[in-house]
């Protein structure tokens, strides 16, 4: 790793000053992606601005009928939260299934969505639940936030403060795990909203995106049979040593059907 300056400010204003004063500055959340990238020399920031000194970013609270989850909430705290389990159990399960104990205790919601890894779990949950990403300067709808492979709508000096989620009982996130890391080899989040169904797929290799054909079919008729004949084109996926593109695309269909069956089985 190259040498760098480390700061742990106690005010958001100081964070922004740091980012604006150094084009090579980077925010540090739990370091679960950034430190690995620095060790591999994929990233070489000259200034690391640690967000751990901002307790406001660790807030997790009810907001209206929904939830506010601060950017610095670690996955373990989301998984353990009684409020999250009550209002959006899908998110507690998603967070509890991330990586291992160390990753869940250091990795954060904000770091995960800012990083936008194409195999990450949080982006699928944020997209399917139609959440809103709130930064130091604006609110960004989930549909506008993720822009492709490791891509987001964030500006270089923008800080994610938290995410606003609607309460969501009728939603599931299922993933087939890459056995070494527990990242999603393929993962699917299905959420049934009053105005239709949203299906977000992660792990296909080219970013996290909504499966429009499945959404339309399930919005007309919410049952697994509605997905018959629908499949993701393997050309939309990537292959690697863990799985071929065909296998990943097939898994997306299987997981979507299972998630729908799972939700349907809990309906009165």
Ligand X SMILES: Cc1cc2nc3c(=O)[nH]c(=O)nc-3n(C[C@H](O)[C@H](O)[C@H](O)COP(=O)(O)OP(=O)(O)OC[C@H]3O[C@@H](n4cnc5c(N)ncnc54)[C@H](O)[C@@H]3O)c2cc1C
Q: Which residues bind ligand X (CB under 6 A)?
A: 26-34, 51, 71, 75, 98-99, 103, 106-108, 110-112, 114-115, 120-122, 154, 159-160, 181-183
Q: Choose between 27 and 217: whose C-beta lies nearer to ligand X.
A: 27
Q: How far is the CB of 219 from ligand X (least distance, A)?
A: 27
Work out the angle at residue 109's Cα, subtended by the Cα atoms of residues 105 and 113, and round it to the nearest 5 degrees: 135
Q: Choose between 131 and 217: whose C-beta lies nearer to ligand X.
A: 131
Q: How far is the CB of 232 from ligand X (least distance, A)?
A: 20
Q: Rounded to an integer, what distance in angstroms lies between the CA atom of residue 200 and that of residue 215?
A: 9
Q: How far is the CB of 169 from ligand X (least distance, A)?
A: 22
Q: Choose between 199 and 218: whose C-beta lies nearer to ligand X.
A: 199
Q: How far is the CB of 72 from ligand X (least distance, A)?
A: 7
Cβ proximity of 186 and 248 under 8 Å: yes
Q: How far is the CB of 265 from ligand X (least distance, A)?
A: 25
Q: Choose between 123 and 253: whose C-beta lies nearer to ligand X.
A: 123
Q: Give the chain as a DSSP string.
A: ----EEE--SSHHHHHHHHHH-TTEEEESS-TTHHHHHHTTS---SEEEEGGG-GGGG-EEEETTEEEEETT-BHHHHHH-HHHHHH-HHHHHHHHTSS-HHHHHH-BHHHHHHHT-TT-SHHHHHHHTT-EEEESS-EEEHHHHEEETTEES--TT--EEEEEE---SSEEEEEEEPTTT--EEEEEEEEEETTEEEEEEE-SSS--EE-HHHHHHHHH--SGGGGTT----GGGS---SS--HHHHHHHHHHHHHHHHHHHHHT--
Q: Choose between 103 and 226: whose C-beta lies nearer to ligand X.
A: 103
Q: How far is the CB of 189 from ligand X (least distance, A)?
A: 11
Q: Choose between 17 and 223: whose C-beta lies nearer to ligand X.
A: 17
Q: Choose between 173 and 218: whose C-beta lies nearer to ligand X.
A: 173
Q: How far is the CB of 208 from ligand X (least distance, A)?
A: 10
Residue nearest ligand X (C-beta atom): 111
């Amino acid at each position: 790793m190259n040498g760098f300056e480390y700061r742990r400010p106690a005010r958001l204003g100081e964070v922004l000053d740091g980012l604006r004063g150094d084009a090579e500055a980077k925010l540090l959340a739990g370091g679960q992606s950034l430190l690995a990238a620095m060790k591999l020399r994929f990233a070489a920031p000259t200034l690391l601005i640690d967000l751990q000194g901002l307790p406001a970013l660790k807030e997790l609270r009810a907001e209206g009928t929904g939830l506010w989850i601060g950017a610095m909430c670690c996955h373990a705290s989301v998984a353990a939260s009684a409020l999250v389990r009550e209002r959006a159990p899908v998110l507690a399960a998603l967070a509890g299934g991330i990586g291992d104990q160390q990753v869940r205790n250091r990795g954060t919601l904000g770091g995960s969505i800012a990083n936008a890894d194409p195999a990450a779990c949080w982006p699928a949950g944020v997209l399917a639940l139609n959440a809103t990403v709130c930064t130091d300067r604006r609110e960004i709808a989930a549909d506008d936030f993720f822009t492709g492979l490791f891509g987001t709508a964030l500006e270089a000096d923008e800080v994610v403060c938290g995410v606003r989620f609607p309460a969501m009982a009728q939603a599931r996130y299922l993933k087939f795990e890459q056995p070494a890391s527990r990242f999603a080899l393929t993962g699917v989040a299905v959420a049934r909203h009053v105005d239709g169904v949203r299906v977000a797929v992660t792990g296909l290799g080219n970013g996290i995106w909504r499966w429009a054909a499945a959404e339309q079919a399930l919005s007309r008729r919410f049952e697994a049979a509605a997905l018959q004949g629908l499949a993701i084109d393997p050309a939309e996926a990537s292959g690697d040593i863990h799985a071929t593109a065909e296998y990943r695309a097939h898994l997306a269909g299987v997981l979507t059907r299972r998630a729908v069956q799972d939700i349907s089985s809990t309906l009165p």
